Structure 1
Amino acid sequence: MRAGDRDGAQSEAGGPPVTLDVRDLRVAYGSGARAVPAVRGVDLTVAAGQKVGIAGESGCGKSTLALALLRLLPASASLSGRILLDGEDVLTMRWGRLRAVRWAGASIVFQGAMHSLNAVRRIGDQIAEPVLLHHRVTPAEAGRRVASLLQQVGLPAARADAYPHELSGGQRQRVMIAMALACDPRLIIADEPTTALDVMIQAQILRLIEQLVAEQDISLLMISHDLAVLADTCDRLAVMYAGRVVEEGPAREVFSAARHPYGRALSAAFPRVGDVSSRRAPRGLPGDPPDPSALPGGCTFHPRCPVALEACAEEPQELAGAAGAHRAACVHANGSVSASAGRRPR
């Protein structure tokens, strides 16, 4: 990949250009011996027009990863690795260039719109702000752009005069999507965009995101706790645990036939429609994710793993499998050991 290639970098297989290419990304909070690792060597690729999901429990590093992509982390965070956005490394950009890339190159839809919208400004003014800044148009032109964006996300143009508290939760989330689209970015990062919404509105917002991504040929990186949502929305899925990607592959395949015990546990936590046993006794995963400041040795999942071997406590596992296919960081990734075999003594 050539730095500065604004048309994106061609994938190694000759497929669509690569919009986002993350290599060995590491993020830690604090410094020296007290530094706490939040993201530990993540590799991630999002091609043009592709939808990629990131799943995992709270505390696994998903949101830190999302914020790191546009260097939105606090000053206490240290970053290393490579984040190529259209072939240009975000980590080495000067602040002026980084400011231009935010919104216009990539934008973020945060969870909880009321935490992102200014309560004392009309939503039309808030949507127009990045348009005026990046496109340098007249206020009248920005107003027409705002009206068009609101219509794209299913809101009447007249709602531009409303304040955030005058809108429902679903309408506010549509405003956040309109803001993310304001400067025609090539990549949208959606961090739990439907967490605070009821299931009916959640479905509408997800369909809206899918439709806009398809119509405008935008790449999408969506973060969620809900593996089923990601499987239904995304092309590929990466599962994170303790700051690392432990499984990745085609979204529906990861959801229905996970190869990592953690991926299987996440999938099993969702009752299947028509499956009476799963509805009456949904399976979960005992315990909690490890403290990032005191990670266990070997495979970090081994203290909670139902099929861990003695060696799992000593040997860290790397993603294994064919490049671009379904890969998992587990000794059982090839499926040679069943979910009930290989249990270590407890």
Structure 2
Amino acid sequence: MSPTSPSPASPAAPSPTSAPLLDVRDLAITYHGARGDIPAVRGVNLTLQPGDTLGIAGESGCGKSSLALALLRLLPAGTTVEGQIRIDDEDVLDMSWGRLRALRWAGASIVFQGAMHALNPVHRIGRQIAEPILLHEKVSEAEANQRVDELLTQVGLPTWRARSYPHELSGGQRQRIMIAMALACSPRLIIADEATTALDVMIQAQVLELLGTLVAERGIALLMISHDLSVLSANCRRLAVMYAGQVVELGPAGKVFTDPLHPYSGALASAFPSVGDPAARGRPRGLGGDPPDPAALPSGCPFHPRCPVVLPECASTPVPLRAAGPDRVAACLRVESTADATRSTP
């Protein structure tokens, strides 16, 4: 199940700390609609230390964005969220609205996909970046504007862009503005939800380099969500692969990309052809079928209807995450278990 091309080396591990900055335990998210209950996320466990980077990959509908929104309680009203989400040892799900408001921007911030839709089209860029600074910090407007200039410089934009409207900027520039806004109040955790998907290759590389620099220099924790395993493996130390609302593999990003243990991880990794390989160009590999309907999940392993190496018992035997080597877990009957890892969060 090796992919067609290797990935660059993953970032170095951060210095260990006594407690994780982000600790997600048994997270379950259920939407309620006309079709009934729809379980979008089921029993997810994740941890993230300061200065660490974690990537989350998977097809559309696997629960990645629902997980990201749940971390700051941004899901629609009426959504059922169970489990624990602890940031700096405080449970986000139990926070008062006042404490949650203080956490957003100042403690943790999110960079959404599609900056044009996230920015207010009738306000200048400088005002939008300054708004969270004025809300969360006791500074004058002049001090906030000075901070705006510093942030624009940090993300590689001239300070005069503060007077621009969103429509006057390119897609890459707007995405940089979103990153500047996310950094405005010096959060310790940044959640990047498909933050580079709509960018061209050059701008994507610049944005990813910027995020990596911020992690290294500021010691922030970065949770990066993307469909692209190659991007995640090159920019994150660890990688979690989600399918049907569950984590099916978690481990060092380079290992998960180049030597996947779960068949689904292998299918995602194999979708990337080798540059200059005529065979890969002529016979692109992928994964047939569609992800299961969350409201009607198959029995046993939810991946078994699409699995290229399915076993007869896969249709009836649910498989929890199990330890599969140093700092690695996977949910597959073909993976030789070294220990029970149902709640493992390497």
Segments of structure 2 that go 5 or more residues without pairing to the other structure are 1-14, 338-346
- Structure 1: how far apart are the matches of 2:284 and 2:66? 29
Amino acid at match of 1:226: D
| Residue equivalent to 1:28 | 30
CA contact (8 A) 2:58 2:242 kept: yes
Q: Which 10-residue stretch deviates more, 20-29 or 317-326?
A: 317-326
| Residue equivalent to 1:305 | 307
Distance 1:56 1:205, change over 3 A: same
| Residue equivalent to 2:114 | 112
Amino acid at match of 1:55: A
- Structure 1: how far apart are the matches of 2:97 and 2:236? 32
- Structure 1: how far apart are the matches of 2:181 and 2:257? 31
1:275 Cα deviation (Å)? 2.9
Task: Deviation per CA, 1:94-124: give whole Å up to 9, x if none.
Answer: 1000000000110000000011000010000
| Residue equivalent to 2:327 | 325
Distance 1:286 1:322, change over 3 A: closer
For 1:83, what is the secondary structure of its paired residue? strand
Percent identical among aligned pairs is: 65
| Residue equivalent to 1:343 | none
1:144 aligned to 143, 146, 167, which one?
Answer: 146
- Structure 1: how far apart are the matches of 2:72 and 2:326? 25
| Residue equivalent to 1:262 | 264
| Residue equivalent to 2:47 | 45
1:33 Cα deviation (Å)? 8.8
- Structure 2: how far apart are the matches of 1:155 and 1:203? 16
CA contact (8 A) 1:17 1:48 kept: no
Amino acid at match of 1:276: P
| Residue equivalent to 1:211 | 213
| Residue equivalent to 2:184 | 182
- Structure 1: how far apart are the matches of 2:90 and 2:33? 27
1:157 aligned to 151, 156, 159, which one?
Answer: 159
- Structure 2: how far apart are the matches of 1:275 and 1:235? 28
For 2:284, what is the secondary structure of its paired residue? coil
Distance 1:163 1:32, change over 3 A: closer
1:273 Cα deviation (Å)? 2.5
For 1:124, what is the secondary structure of its paired residue? helix
Task: Deviation per CA, 1:246-275: give whole Å up to 9, x if none.
Answer: 000000100000000000000000112243
| Residue equivalent to 1:225 | 227
1:215 Cα deviation (Å)? 1.1
For 2:144, what is the secondary structure of its paired residue? helix
Amino acid at match of 1:45: T
| Residue equivalent to 1:251 | 253
CA contact (8 A) 2:301 2:317 kept: yes
Q: Which 10-residue stretch deviates more, 145-154 or 200-209?
A: 200-209
Aligned residues: 323
| Residue equivalent to 2:60 | 58
CA contact (8 A) 2:324 2:336 kept: no
| Residue equivalent to 2:85 | 83
- Structure 2: how far apart are the matches of 1:195 and 1:271? 18
Question: Normalising by the residue count of structure 2, what TM-score does the alignment of the two structures yield?
Answer: 0.91
- Structure 2: how far apart are the matches of 1:113 and 1:264? 31
1:15 Cα deviation (Å)? 4.0
Amino acid at match of 2:264: Y
CA contact (8 A) 2:50 2:219 kept: yes
1:282 Cα deviation (Å)? 1.6
1:283 aligned to 278, 282, 285, which one?
Answer: 285
- Structure 1: how far apart are the matches of 2:286 and 2:105? 38
Amino acid at match of 1:242: A
4+ residue runs over 2 A deviation: 13-17, 273-276
- Structure 1: how far apart are the matches of 2:326 and 2:334? 19
1:32 Cα deviation (Å)? 11
Segments of structure 1 that go 5 or more residues without pairing to the other structure are 1-12, 336-346
Distance 1:304 1:134, change over 3 A: same
Q: Which 10-residue stretch deviates more, 268-277 or 203-212?
A: 268-277
| Residue equivalent to 2:173 | 171
Q: Which has the higher contact order (CA 8 A, sep 6+)?
A: 2
- Structure 2: how far apart are the matches of 1:199 and 1:14? 34
CA contact (8 A) 1:259 1:334 kept: no
Distance 1:323 1:17, change over 3 A: farther
- Structure 2: how far apart are the matches of 1:231 and 1:16? 26
CA contact (8 A) 1:16 1:48 kept: no
Task: Deviation per CA, 1:8-59: give whole Å up to 9, x if none.
Answer: xxxxx96464110000000000179921100000000011100000000000
For 1:29, what is the secondary structure of its paired residue? strand
1:271 aligned to 270, 273, 277, which one?
Answer: 273
Task: Deviation per CA, 1:185-242: give whole Å up to 9, x if none.
Answer: 0000000001111111111111111111211111000000000000000000000000
Amino acid at match of 2:309: V
Distance 1:14 1:114, change over 3 A: closer
CA contact (8 A) 1:108 1:191 kept: yes
Question: Normalising by the residue count of structure 1, what TM-score does the alignment of the two structures yield?
Answer: 0.91
CA contact (8 A) 1:107 1:180 kept: yes
Q: Which 10-residue stretch deviates more, 205-214 or 54-63?
A: 205-214
Distance 1:45 1:17, change over 3 A: same
1:76 Cα deviation (Å)? 2.6
- Structure 2: how far apart are the matches of 1:125 and 1:324? 48
